[in-house]
Amino acid sequence: MYQIFKIIPGLLLYFMLFILLHYATTHQWPDLYNDAMLMLTLVVVLLTHRRLLQFLEKKSHWFFSARIVRVLRLMENLNRRLNETQSYFELKKTLMDSFDRIIENTPYAFYVLENKIFYLAHTRRLKADQIPVAHIEAGYFRDLPKGTLVKSIRELTLPAEAEKDFQRLGLEYLYFFSGHSHIFSFLVVRPELHRILQHPSVLELFRRINNKSGLMLESSALHIDLEQKQHEIRKLLDVSQKILSELDIQKILDYILEALSELIEYDAAAIFLLREETQELLSTCSKGYASHSLLSLKVGQGSCGHVARSRTIEVIPNVDEAEHYYKARAETKSQISLPLLFENKVQGVICVESDEKDFFQEPDVELLKVFANQAALAIHNAHQVEIRLQKQALENELFHAGTVQRGLLIKRIPQIKGMHFIAENIPSQNVSGDLYDFIKFNDHTMGCIIGDVSGKGAPAALMMSLILASFRTQSKTGDTTCDVVNRLNELLTETTIEGKFTTLFYGIFNVEQNKLVYTNAGHNPPYLIRQNGEVITLSGGGLLLGFLKNQEYIQNELPLQNGDLFVAFTDGLSEAMNAEEEEFGEERILQIIRSNQDKDLFTIKSILLDAIRRFTGTDIHMDDITLMLARMEEKED
């Protein structure tokens, strides 16, 4: 009885709603007598509505639980399949196939990282006109804490187009897959799937899958990157050998464009030669242009004319907003132009174009620099043929490539707070097989390498250029010294000319943490000399590069102190001989440096090189000499 009284207020409310609804639809008040059965039905529903709601609620909970069980079963299956997956592409297919079954009828999008861009790799339950933005720059996720699993779009700063698309499709949550260092892919899902993934049992299993697949994506991506670098160096070697053996400039430049198309995606490319007397750039070879669209440009006209005048590289992300652009193709959206320089003289210009905006990235620019150097050398060689030099004279002239090669060596050494660096390279011939480089990671961290390719002359110089280009690409990943050296060894064992090997020392100085991390791959051990005279030999790391595949390199770590003096050199310094064939030796090097330890770095360098000249009695050296010095300075309070 109490239950009946309890529903009387609700009954009266429903009754009033019924009368108002009837009047609104018929414009007549209801006949209560004739509607007695309807009212009786309404009373029964009201008396039982709570049980009905409880029943529906129980069924809803049962369906949710059933879906949780199904998702767990599919995730367990995915976890097992990951253990059997080998390649990068097989891994992506396994993940996407599994997500299709797990996510079922709910729309989602899956993005994968390639060359600092997250590309849309897969979608589900989305029509063609619903597809979200195709790519998002990796920089938008740079500041996410390591190990982040999920974020709502409200917690992220995304490109306006991406945020608009996700909101339009109801995709509110991003689930990230991370490796050791950064994010490699992410899922974008709707709230209903987010609710399932946040269920404790599902979340625990999803984290395991996430960690495993993130690390696998990282390893697979590194493997693909390694294969790509091997392909790049093999192609560069082919181009170099073609330049050394071919005398026809047209054939060489056509070959350069063809080889470039295998390494960089582009829709059009051209190489222009400079005619000095008329200050014109003449189209010598091209791909992707109408035959009449590229004949000649004036120096200063368009992007190519601008770089010929300024001798600088110009990257145009969007030609519609470019200050310097000559419209040769209606489809072109982005472009890179580079001057071809030999002995600081403009030989011509190379440019590549794409039909997509902001298409070209930093690795493309670095690779084009190497091809530009190769093209400059080819043009120089062709000019020698034009004036009918004999083949032997041409081969001798190739040693002028030392100018191009020295252009690869860093001219202005970057500096960091609390430490000073200098370096000197003296080739025994016009070109050198020695190398050195510096890379500034931030205001308190500097990386440096010094190395020596076996042999002398043009072959050693060619290998030196390739190693230097590869190091600059590898070191920008910010990986440990042993990882970078290991990848360089893998590349060189695939591409090294027979009998050409390389010793290398790679060190990273961190002034903020007062430490030096280094790997020595068979190089003359550098020295770290303390203010109190203690000498520490920096050896240990592994074999020289390019000798054996699958080598494991290790890294060592040393604390840095105020006043520490770092000294590195190639064997051309220690093995310099006098008339009696006596070597200068490392003991003399140490003695000279310790005797002048308190002097500035430039003075120490001059004293040491003067001692070598007096010892050998000549300025002509039998081997290349490279010297690198650095000092840990007193920190200001």
pLDDT for 86-132, tens place per residue?
666 677 777 778 788 877 778 899 888 876 788 888 888 888 788 99
Find the mean pLDDT for residues 64-92: 73
Nearby residues of 505 by Cβ (< 8 Å), 6 or more positions away: 449, 450, 451, 518, 519, 520, 521, 523, 526, 538, 541, 568
Query: Most confidently modeled of 88-97, 149-158, 476-485, 543-552?
Result: 149-158
Find the mean pLDDT for residues 148-172: 92
pLDDT above 80: residue 531: yes
pLDDT above 50: residue 394: no
pLDDT for 490-500, tens place per residue?
888 876 656 67
Structural domains in the chain, sorted by start: 2-66 (no CATH), 68-222 (3.30.450.40), 246-400 (3.30.450.40), 409-632 (3.60.40.10)
Q: What percent of the chain has pLDDT over 70?
A: 73
Stronger pLDDT, 138 or 363, i.e. the higher one: 138
pLDDT above 60: residue 37: no
Stronger pLDDT, 246 or 313, i.e. the higher one: 313
Nearest residue to 216 (alpha-carbon basis) of 121, 81, 74:
81
Nearest residue to 71 (alpha-carbon basis) of 188, 186, 192:
192
Q: pLDDT at position 94, please?
A: 77
Query: Cα separation of 583 and 585, whole Å?
Result: 5
pLDDT for 332-356, tens place per residue?
999 998 888 887 888 888 888 998 8
Nearest residue to 410 (alpha-carbon basis) of 133, 579, 174, 628:
628
* Structure tokens belonging to residue 541: 């790391």
Q: pLDDT at position 285, please?
A: 81
pLDDT for 224-260, tens place per residue?
555 555 555 555 556 555 555 566 777 777 877 877 7
Lowest mean pLDDT, pick from 19-28, 346-355, 402-411: 19-28
Query: Looking at the DSSP assignment, which residues form a beta bridge with residue 342?
Result: 345
Query: Cα separation of 624 and 621, whole Å?
Result: 7
